[in-house]
Copies of this chain bind each other. A is one copy, B any other.
Amino acid sequence: MASKKEISLKDISKYIKDGDQVLVGGFGLSGCPLTIVDEIAKTDVKDLTIVSNNLGEPQKGLGKLLDNGQIKKAIGSYFTTHRGAVNAWNEGWLEIELLPQGTMAEGIRAAGAGIPAFYTPTGAGTKLSDNKEVREFDGKEYVLEKSIPGDVALIRAHKADEYGNLVYRKTQENFNTAMAMAGKIVIAEVDEIVPIGELNPEEIKTQHLFVDYLVKTRYEIEGGTFVERTK
């Protein structure tokens, strides 16, 4: 049986509309759904709010969407990997919301876990808590942070089984599981879809109930880097 969840690359754009808040996995290029992002870069979808740790690099990963002007706002922890993000922000057409990386990870998980808000010590007493509610617990200040849901989550894993259970390659997981939990629609890009029963129940990192669709990646590792397969 083929996975009922597998879709073709051209179907991806059906699930993303103008103005969506889109969670995109990855820490740098590792764990970033490069094929899915490439497909979106080919479409006219625009005004996206992208939640991702960084915005890729020029013409790589999310950098393509930025270069195309498809992104209206970016929420993340580190934008200086792509000089274009800094420029776009200076030019005033890209809104940026900077979050401590741990607050971002926890906020995404919270959205997936039904928690609308939580208190964290991170950022208390800094500019990043300006305009945020601060509250004391046991004499220490904490910042109230809201959860970070996604209309869509685009994630990357190593293998899926036909139900959509996922496992990752080494540190590829990073934000992906939390984003799968937090996305209303979740599309996972994988190297391979294996038959039911091939993954051990204990090794599954992202359970199938979080995953709506699967696509096969066009990228493979070659010479220590991610290379697009030329058909």
Contacts and interface: CB of A to CB of B under 8 A. Distances in A.
Contact of A119 (B115, B122, B138): B115
A142 B116 contact: yes
A157 interface: no
A143 to B, nearest CB: 11
A94 to B, nearest CB: 26
Nearest to A121: B114
B168 A202 contact: yes
Contacts of A202: 167-168, 170, 203, 205
A118 interface: yes
Contacts of A140: 116
Interface string A97-119: 00000000010001001111111
Contacts of A114: 120-122
A105 B122 CA distance: 22
Contact size range, A: 20 to 34
Most buried by B among A110, A113, A117: A117
A87 to B, nearest CB: 35
A119 B120 contact: no
A139 to B, nearest CB: 11
Interface string A31-48: 000000000000000000
Interface of A: 106, 110, 113-122, 137-138, 140, 142, 146, 167-168, 170, 201-203, 205
Q: Which 3 A-B residue pairings sit nearest by Cβ, starting from the closest?
A: A118-B118, A116-B137, A117-B119
Given A117-B119, A203-B203, 7 more contacts: A114-B122, A115-B119, A116-B138, A116-B142, A118-B119, A167-B202, A170-B201
